[in-house]
Structure 1
Amino acid sequence: MAQAIRLARRGLYTTDPNPRVGCVLVRDGVVVGEGWHRRAGEAHAERIALTAAGDRARGATAYVSLEPCCHQGRTPPCTDALVQAGVARVVCAMVDPDPRVSGRGVRLLRAAGIAVEVGPLAAQARALNPGFIKRMTQGLPYCRCKLAASLDGRTAMASGESRWISSEASRRDVQRLRARHSAILTGVATVLADDPSLNVRLTPADLPGLQPGEAVRQPWRVVVDSRLRTPPGARLLGLPGITVIAACARADSSRGAALAAAGARVMQFAEHYAQVDLRALLAWLATQEMNEVLLETGPTLAGAALTAGLIDEIILYIAPHLMGDGARGLFRLPGLEHMEHRIPLRIAEVRRIGPDLRLILRPGVLSPGEGQ
């Protein structure tokens, strides 16, 4: 199963919106076939492994990082292929959260006389596909918030200057982070201040799973712009890929027409305190098959998303320098006046990236007495 999960990780930058899945076929203690799902519309991991194994698949055990599919989508059901190949046993790390499968694949395999086991390395398998799982079970994408800050927690000088807080190594790491996401979400204030590109500037050689000469998939660029203040000449509108401007219904329609003429998809959403309802926006992105969304924005939008409970993970790059009292902070969080109001975070990972530290944090609940 560990090998199946390693194979699945090869699809980190390519399988979206499908889940990342790997499969290993073993007969008499020998690996006879293996495969991983590379791209939506292409063969699934099980079928690739079965093709590699040929007749040796009969009587083999299939180790799969996700329950085999049992419905006709862009490709035929993998359960049918496993039964027809004469596989004797299937071990899957977890049940597929897709309601079209969700245990039905296991039941069909068992009904065909195949022994099925579910659960080995389930936590590692879930970690492969947090966005797919959340989209299928909650109707929302998995949302990460990326931030770069000085050691004293500052993200920009008072003037707005912020290039560059983090090192070149960290910025390259962010490029890989962008490449795995379905969409990058920012606010209009960031667009007006920085005129960012919000694209992936890597080559296929930089991203495992891509072949030489293959185009690097560009995540959707989504700008939260309640009153349509994005300039039609903004850099991100002239780049390859899709740019969505998320506005409120009361926004000036003539501005929307100008942005649409510049190449944007202008979408209207319900308001929440005169701003775009972020939950409604994320729910819509889920309907567009966005699994993982990366929030790259300023302290106001980041703070609003955090207090609304919409951020699943914070990725914070800390650079070893100080920017002073006048510089801007990480989140704008009004109303936190007492210790009991604080927002608890759990540190999931700390890693050195060049001269910087990269922290992965997840919102959580403090245990009684913790943090005192």
Structure 2
Amino acid sequence: MSVTPDDEGFMAAAIRLSRQHLGRTATNPSVGCLIVKDGVIVGQAVTALGGRPHAEPQALAEAGQLARGATAYVTLEPCSHHGKTPPCAEALIAYGVARVVISVTDPDPRVSGRGITMLRDAGIEVDAGVLEAEGRRSLAGYLTRQTKNRPYVTLKLAVSADGMIGRQGEGQVAITGPEARAEVQALRAETDAILVGIGTAISDDPLLTVRTPGLEAQSPIRIVLDPSLALPLTSKLVATAREVPVILVASENVSHLAADAEGIPPSVLPDIFPTRGEIDKEHDQNSQADSSSPATEDVGQAAIPQPISPLVGGEARAGEAGPTDPADRLELRTPGRAEGGTTPTDAADLDSRRAVLVAAGVEIVYCNPYHPEVLLPALATRGISSLLVEGGAKTARLFLEAGLVDRIELYQAPVVIGEGGIESPLDATDIPSGFTHMGTQMFGVDRLDEYERGL
């Protein structure tokens, strides 16, 4: 059977459905499934919070006997292996569906094409690649972690009319209006983790949580590139670390100091922080963790520690202090900032600070803060499929120059910063090559342009 406009319409609905649980299905992709009989949706589901149950068996159970002879629309190829749950392909066969329409073929070599073969061998008609571009966008985190062994990285920037992202010495500066800020909260809610540099963490003292009413439990894991463990002990991040996980990425040089202080070898990226799905499980006692696709728990290779080197051409700018920036060494007491920010000077000082951070619930890992090509695969091994880079200029430039940004969300506001502004690392006139302009939206008076690389 050839693909029809109705097929595309139902697949578009399945893709919209799949987005409901983005960032909330642990290591699993958020998949949408519709069961359609005689042009009517008789069953529908999205991968459950924590990753289990999968979308297909839920939708089939809702359809019941009406599934026999129906068409199933699935955003990702149904799994074909026996894991913690039976294969979704077997469930589709058992319920007697006549046809399965798939948007994206699973890239996992243990699945890719095998689910389709299982269905066809059972006499079920299969059409794949329907609205594939849209389906791949909805599965970007999963696909990137499967094929590139790293999270899908989104860079968000809010730029003033005069090309600035903030003002020196003033911490957080409102550039966009409430409508744009609400959209950013929605982006955070569907992302596994959010990352900032230590300069931003010190100068802005941000929470980095989701503050939209009803979505607070969807706050992402918060990551700070903090080579010298300079995060102020009085910061909001430290104060809320037991509510929403905080990870400090410190230099291996710091880990060696800690080892000297304790007489034990330092650990690199200890397996001690929860995945986003485990966080959701704590908020929803009915959800259960699982792997929707066979390789989801094995994605990525452990990063091999490499010596830290300064970012080439990446001198620190205001709002994004480097490892030798005075802001890392001086105690900051500017109104609106957290007190602290002092870099430990010896092993005993470092050990004391580390103990306080850990006691507060902060996780510390040692993995080259200024080498994202090492850090990102390590994050992928911990189940992080999507990462939002949100501050500041130096950190944005770090990921851009490494070629590790997959999507750019560029907000442009009519606000003028003026003298003392912090220059944006890019604007609409110098988007790196390889990015495609995906569209423009207006949020109040602020303009959002989205750019993406091909998956």
TM-score (norm 2): 0.71
How far does the alpha carbon of each residue in 1:210-237 deviate from its partner, in whole angstroms, 9 at most, with x for none? xxxxx62221111101121112222112
Q: For structure 2, list consecutive stretches of 5 or more residues without a partner in the other structure.
A: 1-10, 259-350
Quote the Cα distance in structure 2 between the aligned partners of 1:4 and 1:198.
30
Contact map agreement 1:141 1:292 (CA 8 A) in 2: yes
How far does the alpha carbon of each residue in 1:327-361 deviate from its partner, in whole angstroms, 9 at most, with x for none? 1111289xxxxx9x983354322111112111212
How far does the alpha carbon of each residue in 1:86-139 deviate from its partner, in whole angstroms, 9 at most, with x for none? 112211111112333222111111222222111111111111111110001110
Q: Which residue of structure 2 lines up, in the alignment, with residue 22 of structure 1? A: 32
Q: 1:363 to 1:162 in 2, by over 3 A?
A: farther
Q: 1:201 to 1:33 in 2, by over 3 A?
A: same
Say which SS state the counterpart of residue 170 (structure 1) adopts: helix
Q: 199, 202, 205: which is aligned to 1:189?
A: 199
CA deviation after TM superposition for structure 1 residue 140, in Å: 0.7
Contact map agreement 1:231 1:259 (CA 8 A) in 2: no
1:262 matched to 2:356? The reply is: no
Quote the Cα distance in structure 2 between the aligned partners of 1:330 and 1:21.
36
Contact map agreement 1:57 1:87 (CA 8 A) in 2: yes
Counterparts of residues 48-63 of structure 1 (less than 5 Å): 48-63=58-73
Contact map agreement 2:172 2:204 (CA 8 A) in 1: no
1:279 matched to 2:376? The reply is: no
Q: 292, 296, 312: which is aligned to 2:406?
A: 312
Q: Which residue of structure 2 lines up, in the alignment, with residue 109 of structure 1? A: 119
1:233 matched to 2:234? The reply is: yes
1:131 matched to 2:157? The reply is: no
Q: 1:123 to 1:352 in 2, by over 3 A?
A: same
Contact map agreement 1:154 1:328 (CA 8 A) in 2: yes
Q: Which residue of structure 2 lines up, in the alignment, with residue 223 of structure 1? A: 224
Quote the Cα distance in structure 2 between the aligned partners of 1:155 and 1:138.
30
1:353 matched to 2:418? The reply is: no
Matched residue type, 1:268: Y
Q: 1:332 to 1:82 in 2, by over 3 A?
A: closer
Contact map agreement 1:343 1:363 (CA 8 A) in 2: no
Quote the Cα distance in structure 1 between the aligned partners of 2:42 and 2:431.
54
Contact map agreement 1:11 1:20 (CA 8 A) in 2: yes
Higher relative contact order (CA 8 A, sep 6+): 2
Q: Which residue of structure 2 lines up, in the alignment, with residue 294 of structure 1? A: 388
Q: Which residue of structure 1 lines up, in the alignment, with residue 344 of structure 2? A: none
CA deviation after TM superposition for structure 1 residue 185, in Å: 0.5
CA deviation after TM superposition for structure 1 residue 312, in Å: 1.0
Q: Which residue of structure 2 lines up, in the alignment, with residue 324 of structure 1? A: 418
Say which SS state the counterpart of residue 378 (structure 2) adopts: helix
Contact map agreement 1:41 1:75 (CA 8 A) in 2: no
Matched residue type, 2:365: M
Quote the Cα distance in structure 1 between the aligned partners of 2:401 and 2:363.
28
Contact map agreement 2:171 2:203 (CA 8 A) in 1: no
Say which SS state the counterpart of residue 97 (structure 2) adopts: coil
Contact map agreement 2:27 2:51 (CA 8 A) in 1: no
> Which stretch has the larger CA shift, 275-284 or 175-184?
275-284
Matched residue type, 2:244: G
C-alpha root-mean-square deviation of aligned residues, in Å?
A: 2.3
| TM superposition outliers: structure 1 runs of 4+ over 6 Å | none
Matched residue type, 1:247: A
Quote the Cα distance in structure 1 between the aligned partners of 2:205 and 2:13.
43
Counterparts of residues 159-198 of structure 1 (less than 5 Å): 159-198=169-208
Q: 72, 85, 88: which is aligned to 2:82?
A: 72
Quote the Cα distance in structure 1 between the aligned partners of 2:161 and 2:373.
31
Higher strand share: 1
Percent sequence identity is: 41
Contact map agreement 1:299 1:332 (CA 8 A) in 2: no
Contact map agreement 2:22 2:191 (CA 8 A) in 1: no
Matched residue type, 1:148: A
CA deviation after TM superposition for structure 1 residue 34, in Å: 2.2
How far does the alpha carbon of each residue in 1:53-84 deviate from its partner, in whole angstroms, 9 at most, with x for none? 21121122211111111223443321111111
CA deviation after TM superposition for structure 1 residue 203, in Å: 2.5
Q: Which residue of structure 1 lines up, in the alignment, with residue 432 of structure 2? A: 343
Say which SS state the counterpart of residue 93 (structure 1) adopts: strand
CA deviation after TM superposition for structure 1 residue 170, in Å: 1.5
Q: 1:332 to 1:81 in 2, by over 3 A?
A: closer
Contact map agreement 1:140 1:286 (CA 8 A) in 2: yes
Q: Which residue of structure 1 lines up, in the alignment, with residue 19 of structure 2? A: 9
